[in-house]
Structure 1
Amino acid sequence: MAPQIPEILSRLVGFPTISRQSNLELLDYVESLLVPAGITVRRFSHADGSRANLWATAGPEIDGGIVLSGHSDVVPVAGQDWSFDPFVLRQDEGRWYGRGAVDMKGFVAAAIHAMLSAAARDLQKPLHLALSYDEEVGCLGVRGMIESLAREPLRPAFCLIGEPTGMRLATGHKGKTALRACCQGQEGHSALAPQALNALHLGAAFLQRLQARQEQLASDGARDPAYTIPYTTIHAGVMRGGEALNIVPRSCEIEFEIRHIAADDPSAILSNLLHDAEAIVSPHRDRFAGAAIKIETLSSYPGLDTPEDSPTVSLVASLLGTNLPTIKVAFGTEGGLFAQGLEIPVLICGPGDMAQGHKPDEYVEISQIEKCERFLERVVGVLERRNA
């Protein structure tokens, strides 16, 4: 008898698949469920072999069908005050607790269960399962799998990303570019500070420019009212520099991000910031030839903006059985990569609330998992139709 969702979720949570660490034992477990059911499974491995993506297919190997997509990695628990072991699933008052319960092993468990159900039915179109690694650190792992799939002749009809939306249908998310500004000054003794160039001061000036660009985007930039924050944002999250109080610091690093709506081009925003950086350092070059603020890109992923009038939106909304309007989510997903790489429509819909993720005592409501299970059962039913 095929395992039910609670058992699958318990096993998935038990694998501490923190980003950049191995997920191979989790994939071994998933394969142990899928392969005996007659489901085709492939892996797309990281270059060092420590982790991998998984692509599974139930039903005929033909064009069309639907992809259920989720990531296997979770954020760290170090430094968080958990009430219990985060890698042991715990049920209490209608909730399942554990690291990854909502982001996003709850959906993955439901998707695996749907794959097993699909394997026992007469599908006219395939159901695919995509499991990725290193999503939480910039949607890094899935790229190799998408690149490989894009070279193949068959294409799914569309993709469902199961990130937590409260089982609301989401058509988009912002794109993100993560960057590092490296500020270069000249060190010296703090007693003679004016004779040196303080890199922290350069960094502080650059932070002011970031704030000014953010204020400009907020007041005069493009708008998308579907988002809670309806404009593109610039956020600085990390600043490092200095060795000792009596040393004028030679270098400073600032890590920041741009989260952009579809109407804004992040490269244009970056071009403005490069101009700002040069304006900060150029007055110092007569005295300090090495003065510089260099900006490097750490990672990026595209936004997602599936048209509201897409037939895929109508189909999935009908399967959800809701008249609620579609939404766009504040967090990023792998959806934009699937949409660009495979040139297919992508939607986001999954159980739970992202507000419960990335924190101690992470949980998902059991009622949300049950709603997801019923939804995916209807998804599988669509693939049984002759005109699917």
Structure 2
Amino acid sequence: MPTSTERLDRAIAMTERLIGFDTTSRNSNLSLIEDVKAYLGDLGIAARLTYDDDGRKANLWCTIGPQEHGGIVLSGHTDVVPVDGQEWTTDPFTLTRRGDRLYGRGACDMKAFVAIALSLAPEMAAADLRVPIHFAFSYDEEVGCMGVQRIVDDVVANLPLPRAVIIGEPTSMKLIGGNKGTRIYKTRVTGVPGHSSDPRHGANAVTAASRMVAFIDDLGQEIAATPQADCPFDPPYSTLTVGIIEGGTAHNIIPEFCDITWGMRVLPEDDADVYEARIRDYCTEVLEPGLKAIAPHAGFDHRRMVDVAGLRPDHDSAAETLVRQLTGLNRSGVVSFGTEAGTFQRAGMPAVIFGPGSIDQAHKADEFIDIDQVAQCVDFMVDLIEWAKTAD
């Protein structure tokens, strides 16, 4: 039986191995996935891959133990955010240990969690598990939880349904039972160009876009004015934001095009379709008539780029119950950032967010995770293995 120190050393070594792969979302993650698949294969664990449309990226799913319903999923994403423009004092794709911290891109978000699970795979494989443990490692979480939907679809269609999913995002090993959903849109406003000396002969796309932006802001303030009572989220309401607006070519040309990137962070119990419909209707009914009076082809084209389900708090779910049982934690919280948890929950798989490291360190230069957090997560997974050996 390995000692705690040996387990921690193996977890750190696996974290180093994973950080060595530059899996920035714009890149392929296949080198990491194939390495993990080979590692699992050497342990006699068969991995199942699902790919993106181009075959450049893949999710990995595997089952350790009996091929039965009711397993526990340890889920993490393999992609990381870019380091471009950040001032790192270490090589972001080489794990650096300084004192009690491990530095590297993905150290907390969230390769350490994936690495801890993988480092304990030999013990899982050697154990006589009564309840299966699954790994679900996804691509493109950082750009909108694109990959996880294919894992979920594959599980629902072809595999035994698990009883609980643990998403190992950095929560400082605190139990999180809810997160807001995310939607991101791109809107192109098409107007009619012309000389700025006579605006009557053009349709100004920037002006129309600015009115849409103002409406989004007004709607956001309307929602904020009626916060939900006893809401655990901060802020206690859904939010709307405009992130990018680009349009026009010169000061003396009436802009023909303007592009807007905007989005929502939506409470799990709110209906994002209602907010989207109000914005679309305002553009269609109030703004477009003026544009189309100049040219029939002018108007608004809205495209939903990201749709990530929120995680609805469920204190009685199998996922919360299990983590409480193994940790002694007696309460769960919520976060406003998006995760893959809601995608699993929406498909009938109870989920929680619970992992090592602080979200405060994610996406920053010199991203790090405290070694104590790694050790705590190792201990949790060891307890999970023991539970899976005797549970029904």
Structure 1 length as normaliser, TM-score? 0.95
Aligned length: 385
Quick one: which of 212, 217, 221 aligns to 1:206?
Answer: 212
Q: What displacement does 1:40 show?
A: 2.1
Which residue of 1 is the match for residue 108 of structure 2?
102
Which residue of 2 is the match for residue 219 of structure 1?
225
Please give the alpha-carbon distance, in whole angstroms, between the structure 1 residues aligned to 2:229 and 2:210.
Answer: 29
Please give the alpha-carbon distance, in whole angstroms, between the structure 2 residues aligned to 1:223 and 1:36.
Answer: 53
Q: What displacement does 1:9 show?
A: 0.4
Please give the alpha-carbon distance, in whole angstroms, between the structure 2 residues aligned to 1:318 and 1:285.
Answer: 62
Which residue of 1 is the match for residue 251 of structure 2?
245
Please give the alpha-carbon distance, in whole angstroms, between the structure 2 residues aligned to 1:311 and 1:146.
Answer: 18
Please give the alpha-carbon distance, in whole angstroms, between the structure 2 residues aligned to 1:169 and 1:107.
Answer: 15
Which residue of 1 is the match for residue 386 of structure 2?
381
Which residue of 1 is the match for residue 188 of structure 2?
182
Quick one: which of 329, 339, 342 aligns to 1:333?
Answer: 339
Question: Letter of the aligned partner of 1:375 in structure 2?
Answer: F
Q: What displacement does 1:119 show?
A: 1.0
Quick one: which of 355, 358, 368 aligns to 1:350?
Answer: 355
Q: What displacement does 1:122 show?
A: 1.1
Contact 1:138/1:300 (8 A) holds in 2: yes
Please give the alpha-carbon distance, in whole angstroms, between the structure 1 residues aligned to 2:238 and 2:336.
Answer: 11
Please give the alpha-carbon distance, in whole angstroms, between the structure 2 residues aligned to 1:239 and 1:286.
Answer: 24
Which residue of 2 is the match for residue 125 of structure 1?
131
Please give the alpha-carbon distance, in whole angstroms, between the structure 2 residues aligned to 1:112 and 1:153.
Answer: 21
Quick one: which of 316, 322, 325 aligns to 1:309?
Answer: 316
SS in 1 for 2:329: coil
SS in 2 for 1:22: coil
The 1:41/1:285 distance shift into structure 2, 3 A limit, reads: closer
Question: Letter of the aligned partner of 1:315 in structure 2?
Answer: L
Q: What displacement does 1:224 show?
A: 6.0
Quick one: which of 368, 372, 382 aligns to 2:373?
Answer: 368
Quick one: which of 152, 157, 165 aligns to 2:158?
Answer: 152
Q: 1:324-343 CA distances to partner (integer Å, 9 max, x unpaired)?
A: x21111111111111223x1
Contact 2:183/2:263 (8 A) holds in 1: yes
Contact 1:306/1:346 (8 A) holds in 2: no
Contact 1:306/1:345 (8 A) holds in 2: no
SS in 2 for 1:55: strand
Please give the alpha-carbon distance, in whole angstroms, between the structure 1 residues aligned to 2:232 and 2:201.
Answer: 52
Instruction: Tell me the C-alpha RMSD between the 2 structures.
Output: 1.7
Which residue of 2 is the match for residue 300 of structure 1?
307
Q: What displacement does 1:223 show?
A: 5.3
Please give the alpha-carbon distance, in whole angstroms, between the structure 1 residues aligned to 2:222 and 2:262.
Answer: 17
Please give the alpha-carbon distance, in whole angstroms, between the structure 2 residues aligned to 1:312 and 1:257.
Answer: 29
Which runs of 5 or more residues in structure 1 are unaligned? none
The 1:206/1:199 distance shift into structure 2, 3 A limit, reads: same
Q: 1:243-275 CA distances to partner (integer Å, 9 max, x unpaired)?
A: 122211101010111111122111111111012
Q: What displacement does 1:284 show?
A: 4.5
| 2:69 aligned with 1:63 | yes
Please give the alpha-carbon distance, in whole angstroms, between the structure 2 residues aligned to 1:261 and 1:108.
Answer: 28
Question: Letter of the aligned partner of 1:149 in structure 2?
Answer: V
Question: Letter of the aligned partner of 2:317 in structure 1?
Answer: S
Which runs of 5 or more residues in structure 2 are unaligned? none
The 1:268/1:22 distance shift into structure 2, 3 A limit, reads: same
Which residue of 1 is the match for residue 48 of structure 2?
42
Question: Letter of the aligned partner of 1:370 in structure 2?
Answer: A
Which residue of 2 is the match for residue 15 of structure 1?
21
Contact 2:191/2:205 (8 A) holds in 1: yes
Q: What displacement does 1:288 show?
A: 4.2
The 1:379/1:83 distance shift into structure 2, 3 A limit, reads: same
SS in 1 for 2:141: coil
Contact 1:103/1:354 (8 A) holds in 2: yes
SS in 2 for 1:44: strand
Please give the alpha-carbon distance, in whole angstroms, between the structure 1 residues aligned to 2:75 and 2:82.
Answer: 22
Contact 2:61/2:134 (8 A) holds in 1: yes
The 1:356/1:380 distance shift into structure 2, 3 A limit, reads: same
Please give the alpha-carbon distance, in whole angstroms, between the structure 1 residues aligned to 2:230 and 2:91.
Answer: 41
Q: What displacement does 1:311 show?
A: 4.2
Question: Letter of the aligned partner of 1:303 in structure 2?
Answer: G
Q: What displacement does 1:309 show?
A: 2.3
Structure 2 length as normaliser, TM-score? 0.94
Please give the alpha-carbon distance, in whole angstroms, between the structure 2 residues aligned to 1:294 and 1:25.
Answer: 38
Please give the alpha-carbon distance, in whole angstroms, between the structure 2 residues aligned to 1:253 and 1:223.
Answer: 36
Percent of aligned pairs sharing the same letter? 36
